[in-house]
Structure 1
Amino acid sequence: MWKYYALLSALFAVLTAVFAKIGVKDINSDLATAIRTSVILFITWGIGFAGNYTAEVKGISGHTWIFLNSVRYCHSLRIIIGALLITGGSIVMLIK
């Protein structure tokens, strides 16, 4: 059964990439990312409320909060450094 889930996951990853490219052709890519992130945030909190998981937030340990925030900061830094590398590469190409 897991093979079917893996295929469906790959299919939806492809569809996500295609729809994201189509969706950002007329608007700023940062705005598109903010919109997609907001939609995902809304959906995941909806799942949390529907499953009544929100009561478990009080029981999350300090260690877990540190780990979750570390992941968030590392992800943010990866995006910032990637953007700087892309921008720097563009500048280098213009100079040459």
Structure 2
Amino acid sequence: MTSFAQVDQLTMREYELLVKAAELRDVDTDYRLHEQAFLNFVVQGRKKSGRPVYRRFKQFFNYAQEVKEVIEKRKKEKKTDSRFSRLSKHLKEKRGDG
């Protein structure tokens, strides 16, 4: 999206898909950050016994669970909120009002 005219032409369904895509992109960013932190940790982090605290990356960051939470959150919102209340809620979150 590069202009307000393009945004104005979106249907609610298209808007919801763009929001979901943005949230999933954020999960991917978090994944990469956690992965880097994990690699840093693997090099340094050890228990008293000398073993790593997290033996596998999935114990440190569960990517599948994070994606599932985003999808389930959207499904739950869809069942409980009207379209316009979700839009209003999203805009408030982006502005920092709510």
Instruction: Tell whether the structures are fold-level matches, with TM greater than 0.5.
Output: no
For Structure 1 versus Structure 2, the TM-score category normalised by the shorter chain is 0.3 to 0.5
Higher relative contact order (CA 8 A, sep 6+): 2
What TM-score, normalized by structure 1, do the two folds share?
0.36
TM-score (norm 2): 0.36
